[in-house]
A and B are shown apart, each in its own frame.
Chain A
C-alpha cells in the first residue's frame, strides 16, 4: 500500500515571498503520478500541479513548481510570489499507474494549511 506524508500541518508566508511545502511518499511502484491539490476555505478542491514519475523534468505551472526527487521519494511544492488567494489547505496525492481496466485511485496526505499574510 502507498502512503503519503506531509510533515507540516501549518505554514505561513508573507505576501510576495516564496514558500515550499514538503511531501514524501512510500511506494514500491516504478510508474506513478503525483499531484498537489489546493482546497481554499469553503471552496472546491482543485488541481494545482501534476508530475509523471517517468519524467525527470520538474513540472511548473506559473508561480507553482515542484521539486521531484524520485530516489528520495520526495515531492515538494514551491509557491513563488505568494498571493492572498493562495491561502488554502494543500494536499499531496499519489496515484499508481493502474492496470488496464482498473481505476485511477488517489492516496492523499493529511494536508498543510498555508496562510498568506498581507
Chain B
C-alpha cells in the first residue's frame, strides 16, 4: 500500500483558502491521474498526466489547478472552493505503454471538507 502516497490524508479548508494536495508514486510509472470520489456517484476522472504532460482535463473548474513537475509527483492546487467540492480526492498511477497490464494503482486519498 505504499506504492502511491497522498498528503494530507484529511483537509478542512474555508472557501477563501488556498491549499495543495500532493501525490507521489514510487512505482516508476509514466502516467498519473486525479479522481474525485463523492458519495453515491461514480469516480470522476479530473486530470491525466502522461510523461509530465497534461493530456486530459475533464471539464474541471479552474479553481482546481493540477501540476506535474516530474513523473513521480502530482499536485492539485485548490483555491476559492465551494462546499460541493467536499469529497475524497484520489490519485492514481499506471504504466501506459503497449503490453502493460493497464492497472491503475491508487493512493489512499485526501478527504477534503470545504466549510
Contact = CB atoms under 8 A, between A and B. Distances in A.
Interface in B92-109: 94, 96, 98, 100-104, 106-109
Interface stretch (A14-22, A40-48, A80-88): A40-48
Contacts of A35: 103
Nearest to A106: B104
A4 interface: yes
Interface in B10-53: 31, 40-43, 45, 48, 50
Contact residues on A (Cβ < 8 Å of other chain), bracket: 20 to 34
A105 B108 contact: no
A64 interface: no
B97 to A, nearest CB: 9
Would you call the interface of chain A mostly helix, strand, loop, or mixed?
Answer: loop
Given A4-B42, A104-B31, A106-B45, A44 B104 contact: no
B106 A46 contact: yes
Would you call the interface of chain B mostly helix, strand, loop, or mixed?
Answer: loop
A28 B1 CA distance: 35
A49 to B, nearest CB: 11
A39 to B, nearest CB: 8
Interface of B: 1, 4, 31, 40-43, 45, 48, 50, 55-56, 90, 94, 96, 98, 100-104, 106-109
A-B pairs, top 7 by smallest CB distance, nearest first, are A45-B106, A108-B43, A108-B42, A44-B108, A103-B48, A104-B102, A47-B103
